A and B are shown apart, each in its own frame.
Chain A
Amino acid sequence: MHTVKPLKGHSPRGLLQGLRGAREAELFGPRGRLPRRGEPDTSPRTALLVLAALTLAGLGLRLAVPRGIWLDEAISIHQARLSLHDLFSNLYYGDRHPPLHHLTLWLTVRAFGTGEFAVRLPSLIAGTLVIPALYELGRELYDRRTGLIAAAFATASPLLVWYAQEVRMYAFVTLFGVLALLTQLRVIHRASMANWAAYILATAALLWSHYFGLLLIGVQQLIFVVVLVHRRRSGEPVKTLALGFAYSAAVLAMQLVPLAVFAQNQFQSTHAAAGSPSGTYDPLSFYTVLTNMAWALWGYHPDATTQLLAAMWPLLMLLSLLLLGRGGSRQTLMLGAAALVPLVLLLIVSAFDPELFEVRYFLIVVPLLLLLIARLITGWIRKPRARLLVAGGFVAFLLIGLADQQTNKGNPRLFDFRGAIQKIKADAGPNSLVLFEPPDMRYVLEYYAPGLRRQPLRLAVPKRTKGSPVFVLASFQKNKQFFDETNRVAGQLDFFRKRVRRFRTPQTLVWEFR
């Protein structure tokens, strides 16, 4: 056995003194040469070029519209053709939306007419501007690289393309939602008058585009409070930000008063939404949540495809596990809150009215989700090539979704009224009559066939149609009421008249009788 006693009188502290103190640099490496964790960001010039290319590509994809006007769009166009007084009256008594998009469309119609391209122009512009806006939000939150990847995703995002082509307010909501967050960030970083003005304008535009914009605006107020509390706790000055916040909140409150009166009258006057006929959506369930989330990311596809996508829910468990130990930054928390809180609030509201849980009502979540995915890629993948590969793969995934959404006739949101009406027009004579269901189909007929005689299916067929063809134009047949009514009238006509033909276009049925 070997035993050696410690040396008496030996002072081990001398050695420790060598470990600490003045010779730190020698022991621990020079302080001034600590490494940067990340590689340099994309240069401003490259970013600008890539962004311009993405925006042009995005515009190109949005300009390629493969479908005609559908019901809700036809209603908007009808409203835009009215006088300004009648437009407001119509909105006040017969709609459920604030008036910003309607006013813009009203001006567009006056300037460019009512051609399909003209009426889509406001949405096309807003939907394209989402691309640079999202880049800027990504740059402000993280860096240019993340902004560019998010912009690339927005370029190819099927749902963003879809609503950039729709004559409704959803592209506005998306653009103004992104701008509201961007301007809020700028206010938090640099509380200048110009930034405050931009923030107030962006939130006002969001609010006057859609009532659900309030969900995001509510989250923004919470973000302000959290930032103020945090700054106060850490001893940073809060006066400027607090004053600006108070001022912007006052401006918001001033807008809410007339808007609340407007909305209250609207909701009292209308029992059903002005847009899609009620009863065409599935009741709220986990499946509808999964389906809407699948749509949000990959666009509209035939039910069979959506079912397969929804069946992949275990991959969400993988995502939740991947998030363990991640996402601790305040920026990501803010982004996550802005994306998730409105979604959860809408989910809660939808428990009372299942039709409200519709992806278009939380379209603002889509660009934020895309930005979060872009951040996952730039934050987790350090090798540039691997990052490019994953980001490119995701863009390809989106493009496949976009191609299927735009071309697949089984798309559940594709209503080919234009195709059906064109065929009707080809066969119609001077006394022809079109019987239509649902009642709001009159706006579509007004747009595509203003010269055709038409009446709702429920009214009796007039006698002076003798010898002229009678058409039944029906859609929304998943709705039991519409289905029963269509069957009843088509059955009667089948009994008393000769059925010449029956044809269908996506989600539309046409019978022709003589």
Chain B
Amino acid sequence: MSSSPWDVRLRKVTWEPVPSTFSVRRRVRLLVLLGLPLAVWYFGWLLNPDRVGTPYLYAVLIAAELFNLTQALGFWWTCANERVRERRPPTQHVAVDVFIPVYKEPPEIVDLTVAAAAGLRSAEVRVWVLDDGNDDAMRDLAARHGVGYLRRPEHTGAKAGNINHALTKTDAPFIAVFDSDHVADPAFLEATLGHMDDPKVAFVQTPQYYANTETSRIAAASWAQQALFFGAIARGKDGLDAVFCCGTNVLFRRAAFESVGGFPTNSLTEDFELSIHLHEKGWSSVYVPDVLARGLGPEDTAAYVSQQQRWARGCLSGLPRAMRAKLPWRLKLQYLLSGIYFLSGWTVLVYMSFPVIRLLGGGQPIGGIDAPEFLLHFAPYYIVALTMAALAGAGSYTFAAFALSAANFWIHVLSTVYTVLRRSGSFVVTPKQGAEARQPAAVMPALVAIGILVGASVYGLVRNPDASTINNVSFAALHVSILITGCWAALEKPRAPASGTSFEPAEVGA
């Protein structure tokens, strides 16, 4: 079997992670000068006791707004510390074990991953297919490419256990890890190995780029979310020496791995927890912002939901660990900021509830003010915060990305509940191929929310179509538009596979 010559992972990278004009660092710092006083202006006004409308709704609003402010300040702080690392070639010839953990993925997807890994330059490369799916086709594939193949008798600890097992069977001083769908650029080691000259560096992380954005609406929106993280946020974390490992497209130092006993196997986001362990031990981490591997994003909504559930459960359950960790305050804050992102679905739920409660005849959080007064305080802060996201993301963060995240608010809600109840989750590999049918079940909570918002709007309009009702119906329409956009990929008929002739090919270095 050979890789299809039309594989999307061979397409040219369309993402430019670092803006060619003003650096994100400069953009954000300039905007922060504007944003901080505006935040004080808004919250100074909002927290005035005269604003209290219905007390319990006001309390909920304040909680949601303060959470968003925390997220915004964290985002600004991170991006304002951006560091853009250059590629650093190796200074000596070393051996690198390349791990490709697989678990029942289609061999035609793994085929190109293995081929590309085997083609990595500038080191003695030993590729290992770590097969947790006991798949003979995978063994044959490894044999065909002339790479190593490891299958273990007991499949405990999921991906983390699989890699830990491979650590005992291999001995190169450095280890590169690629997910089964991530096609490495031949220059991956040329760009990253040089950073290992600093003996304190435990790992070098690179972006997790999705190449299937043209063929999948979900992958495109999902990538737009990733692009913000692997763009401004990851570079900012690097500036604060707080880059955490993302599990793929990463180069490790074996000594660092061994110093913490390998990947923790009791977490759904083993990479997140591993990073905490490493930073606690005094190791440092590096982020190289260039795309050095091309993978596949979730092809359908169910895959996206599965991926997000895993990340949310993992990061939320990692929060106590991050709080207990003996880390410098900036690292601890960075871990906490990354973890609490997965609580943001609660704020979506809160904001959707307000117009419904008002339209059904209930109260409203803020009282005794008119729209101009509210807008005078809120709009400048909102505009600057939004502009910050747009400029930091250099245009990569889209409405579709925002809508997809908002429409899956329930994942964060459910994950919080499960985490609090200490219900265990299982590691589920993100499917690499899209479904062939519509997936309304995957977005059912959002559809229910749409139904409630529309129902409340109709009720409100019939009851009393005054300006206040129109205002709340407009809020409901805002939420409905966002939710429908976020659900759309699950409701539309899946697209036919893309033709291979309609793309610009990747530039593969000589």
Contact = CB atoms under 8 A, between A and B. Distances in A.
Interface of A: 1-7, 10, 12-13, 15-16, 19-21, 24, 26-31, 33-35, 285-287, 290, 307-308, 310-315, 317-318, 320-326, 328
A325 B186 contact: no
23 contacts: A1-B150, A2-B139, A3-B169, A4-B143, A6-B128, A6-B147, A13-B121, A15-B119, A16-B115, A31-B505, A286-B379, A287-B371, A307-B467, A311-B371, A312-B474, A314-B477, A318-B481, A324-B398, A325-B390, A325-B396, A325-B398, A326-B398, A328-B395
Contacts of B382: 317, 320
A26 B6 CA distance: 9
A31 B224 CA distance: 27
A214 to B, nearest CB: 26
Contacts of B402: 321, 324
Contact of B471 (A31, A34, A314): A314
Contacts of A21: 508, 510
Interface in B1-25: 5-6, 10-11
Given A6-B146, A322-B399, A328-B395, A29 B500 contact: yes
Contacts of B126: 6
B502 interface: yes
Contact of A4 (B125, B142, B395): B142
Contact of B397 (A13, A26, A29, A325): A325
Contact of B501 (A24, A33, A307): A33
Nearest to A327: B395
Given A12-B118, A27-B5, A28-B10, A285 B501 contact: no
A4 B125 CA distance: 15
B148 interface: yes
B247 interface: no
Interface string B267-310: 00000000000000000000000000000000000000000000
B235 to A, nearest CB: 19
Contact of A26 (B5, B393, B478, B503): B5
Contact of B148 (A6, A20, A323): A6
B94 interface: no
A300 to B, nearest CB: 18
A314 B351 CA distance: 12
Interface in B447-489: 467-468, 470-471, 474-475, 477-478, 481-482
A324 to B, nearest CB: 5
B79 to A, nearest CB: 16
A406 B371 CA distance: 29
Nearest to B355: A314
B212 to A, nearest CB: 16
A28 B398 contact: no
Contacts of A16: 115-116, 118-119, 186, 508
B506 interface: yes
A326 B398 CA distance: 7
Contacts of A27: 5, 10, 505
Contact of B470 (A15, A312, A324): A312
A312 B128 CA distance: 59
A2 B151 contact: yes
Contacts of A1: 150-153
Contact of B375 (A12, A312, A313, A328): A313
Contacts of A310: 371, 467
Given A1-B152, A28-B505, A315-B474, 7 more contacts: A6-B127, A12-B145, A307-B467, A318-B477, A320-B383, A321-B402, A321-B482
B149 A314 contact: no
A286 B399 contact: no
B477 A3 contact: no
B504 interface: yes
Contacts of B389: 324
A303 B128 CA distance: 73
Contacts of B139: 2, 4
Contacts of A31: 505
Interface of B: 5-6, 10-11, 115-116, 118-121, 125-128, 131, 139, 142-143, 145-153, 169, 186, 224, 370-373, 375-376, 379, 382-383, 386, 389-390, 393, 395-399, 401-402, 467-468, 470-471, 474-475, 477-478, 481-482, 500-506, 508-510
A389 to B, nearest CB: 17
A349 to B, nearest CB: 18
Contacts of A33: 501
B478 A314 contact: yes
The 3 A-B residue pairs with the shortest CB-CB distance in the complex, in nearest-first order: A28-B505, A16-B119, A12-B118
A436 B224 CA distance: 65
Contact of A286 (B127, B372, B481): B372
Nearest to B6: A29
A12 B471 contact: no
B376 to A, nearest CB: 5
Contacts of A3: 148-151, 169
Contacts of B470: 308, 311-312
Contacts of B143: 4
A326 B383 CA distance: 16
A130 to B, nearest CB: 30
Nearest to B11: A28
Contacts of B393: 325
B125 A311 contact: no
Contacts of B224: 325
A20 B510 CA distance: 7
A313 B468 CA distance: 11
A20 B224 CA distance: 28
Contacts of A28: 5, 10-11, 503-506
Contacts of A19: 10, 115-116, 119, 508
A35 B504 CA distance: 9
B365 to A, nearest CB: 15
Nearest to A306: B467
Nearest to B136: A2
Contacts of A317: 382, 478
A2 to B, nearest CB: 4
Contact of B505 (A5, A12, A29, A307): A29
B506 A285 contact: no
Contacts of B471: 311-314
A286 B371 contact: yes
Contacts of A322: 399
B372 A285 contact: yes
Given A12-B127, A12-B146, A27-B5, A324 B390 contact: yes
A314 B475 contact: yes
B146 A311 contact: no
Contacts of B503: 28-29, 34
B214 to A, nearest CB: 11
